[in-house]
Every structure is written in C-alpha cells, then in structure tokens.
A = this chain, B = another copy of it.
Amino acid sequence: MVDRQDNGRPRSRRLPRAVRERQILDAAVEVFATRGFHTASMDEIAEVAGISKPMLYAYLGAKDELFVACIRREANRLIDAISVAVEAGLSPAEQLWRGLRVFFEYVSRNQAGWAVLHRQVNQGEPSVSELVEWRQRATSVIAALLAQATEESAQPMQPEQTEPFAVALVGACESLVEWWFQHPEHTADGMAMRLMNMVWMGFSDLVEGRSWTPDQ
C-alpha cells in the first residue's frame, strides 16, 4: 500500500536525522557545484533535496553554514581517501605517487564534490576561510612530505622551505584537473605520472644540487 497523493516523486518522509542530513548535503553539493555559491539558491537546494526550506534551515543552518558543511564534508572525504592510500612506511616519492593517483581517481569519480572545493568563493565571502583552511591543510601535508624527502640529502630542507613547492604542486594539480575534465581520454595514472615527472623530477634535481640559473 503505497502512500497516496504521491505525485511521482518518491520523496520519503520522516527520515531519521542522519539520513536527512546526508540527503541535504548531497543536494547542496550538487547545486553548489552546478551553480556556484552565489548563484545557487536555497530554494533550489531544498527542492533538489526534496524537503521544504524550513527543514533545510533547521538541519544545516543558513546558506553560509550549509556551504561550509559541504566543504567540510567533501574535504574530509577527499583527504580520507588519500590518507588510506598513503601508507606511512613508504618512501616519500612512493607516498606522493600514491597520493596523486588516488587524488585524480577520487576527483574524477566525484566531480561535484571537487567543484565545491575549487573555485567557489570570491573574496569577501564569510566562507572563504574554510576553503583557505582546507587548502592549507593539503599544502602542509605535501610540504612535510617534501621536507622528509630531503632528510638524507646534502642539504635537508625545513617544511617552511618546501612550502612554496607544495603550493605550486597544489596549484598544478587543480589546474590539471580542470584540463583533464576536458580531455577525459587520459587516465588518472597518466595524470599523476605527469605531475611526478614534472614536479618531482624538478624537485629532485634541486635537492641534488642541479639547478637552473639564468644566463647560462
């Protein structure tokens, strides 16, 4: 005996809190990804989530907070996925390689989630800090990895010194992801390898004393 008055949508009612919350976050991520933060409207999110606006507000707060919740979830998911792949005992190169591979794989399977983490917020928004923070987290991890890779070299580097390299790597990643989405014929491994070849090789050269200088 199906519920009457159903007008086609299987909008389930009276769900437990956790389920609804996930439902809402899914909808919000989808809408934010498609429309961008500003252009997205709470009306549309509520509709996609299959609930009314008051519920939307009751569960996850105002638009800003909802957006922050999206970022938080997606950032955690991404970082968790990578953490699982990067085992502690491995060499830095191996760790970086695995991390990159998983990153590209994850991103291609979860494009909406990635869109929320990337290029969403203009200056002046209250939610920028959350985006900045997760990016900082990612950068720090990589900077630490790079520093560790120099430990046994002639000139060990501190994370403060490797930070700009990490920053550049993160930027290159972001940029390449966008390019990849338009050239889907490449594989995740291929993308990761590209980055290893470019950034890691250049970094190794530097560590080993081979560096580029102008006019020579």
Which A positions have Cβ atoms within 8 angstroms of B?
33-39, 93-94, 97, 115, 119-125, 163-165, 167-176, 178-179, 183, 191, 193-203, 205-206, 210-214
Chain B residues lying within 8 Å of A206, measured Cβ to Cβ, are 197-198, 201
Q: Assuming A174-B175, A201-B210, is B39 touching A124 (CB within 8 A)?
A: yes
- A115 CA / B214 CA spacing, docked (Å): 29
Q: What DSSP secondary structure best describes chain A's contact surface?
A: helix
Q: Assuming A169-B172, A205-B205, A211-B201, is B164 touching A122 (CB within 8 A)?
A: no
Shortest CB distance A147–B (Å): 15
- A197 CA / B211 CA spacing, docked (Å): 6
Given contacts A168-B198, A197-B202, 9 further A-B contacts (CB under 8 A): A38-B39, A39-B122, A119-B123, A120-B122, A121-B122, A171-B175, A171-B176, A198-B203, A201-B202
- A181 CA / B191 CA spacing, docked (Å): 29
Which 10 A-B residue pairings sit nearest by Cβ, starting from the closest? A171-B175, A36-B122, A202-B202, A168-B172, A38-B38, A201-B202, A198-B202, A171-B171, A201-B205, A167-B179
Closest Cβ neighbor of A33 among chain B residues: B123
Indicate which residue in B37, B38, B202 contacts A205 across the interface (CB closer than 8 Å): B202
Closest Cβ neighbor of A165 among chain B residues: B198
Which residue, A168, A173, A179, A194, has most C-beta atoms of chain B within 10 A? Answer: A168
Closest Cβ neighbor of A174 among chain B residues: B171
Which residue, A173, A183, A212, has most C-beta atoms of chain B within 10 A? Answer: A212
Closest Cβ neighbor of A38 among chain B residues: B38
Indicate which residue in B35, B164, B194, B197 contacts A179 across the interface (CB closer than 8 Å): B164
